[in-house]
Amino acid sequence: MARILKDYPSVSLEAEDLAGKIDFVQVFGRAGPVHIEIGSGKGTFLVNQAKAAPEVNFLGIEWARRYYRWAVDRIGRWGLANVRIIRADAGVFIGEHVADGSVDCFHIYFPDPWPKKRHHKRRFIQQGNLGQLLRCLRAGGRIRIATDHAEYFEQIRRVIAAAGDRLAEIDFLPTAGADAGEWVGTNFERKYLKHSRQIFTLAVEKH
């Protein structure tokens, strides 16, 4: 029997209701560090990390409707007051609605690699989007990335390197939901590890 997915209005943000830059204090009903996950899938990371760090406000961005609905249901069932999620194009949403210096960390785990060369322009991690992330990060803010795609990882390294001394590489530490041998503990990572695929990670801090 298929799981019935419930909607939780307290969890989901509606893109059409937003105008200008959003106020995270108003969204979460409190002040606190803000972490944004780009491409939240079914919400595994958000749930595990939000439970482990209740002092942090987490916002997930997911475009695929079926994954978004699953994540809303999962977050709502756990009753997590420090998580919100929105169905939106991440690049557009961040550019239009996230204020300068308002984010403490961006999490980007297993972004779509768009493996065909003619589709590489659709990859999220490229110069324009990195510029937006840097704008939104506070000083000392971080970007954490994990992927199983070696060629995309090389591109990511080139994009990060082009930022020069604005970003410094730091250790990538496993997340709260990661089991032994895992980095982030998401559904995608576990699927790739079963097929013995190498996981590449990178974490950087804004100066």
- What whole-number distance in Å separates Cα of residue 176 and Cα of residue 140? 21
Please report the domains of the chain, with CATH numbers, ordered by start residue.
Answer: 34-206 (3.40.50.150)
Question: Tens of pLDDT along 26-69?
Answer: 999 999 999 999 999 999 999 999 999 999 999 999 999 999 99
Catalytic positions, please?
112
Pairing state between β 137-147 and 167-170: unpaired
Q: What is the mean pLDDT of each run of 10 residues along the chain (207 residues)?
A: 82 88 96 98 96 98 95 96 97 96 98 90 95 98 97 97 96 95 91 90 97
Sheet with 167-170: list strands edge to edge. Answer: 12-13, 83-86, 57-61, 34-38, 103-109, 137-147, 200-206, 167-170
Give the separation between CA 6 and CA 148, rounded to whole angstroms. Answer: 32
Q: Is the separation of the CB atoms in 93 and 86 below 8 Å?
A: yes
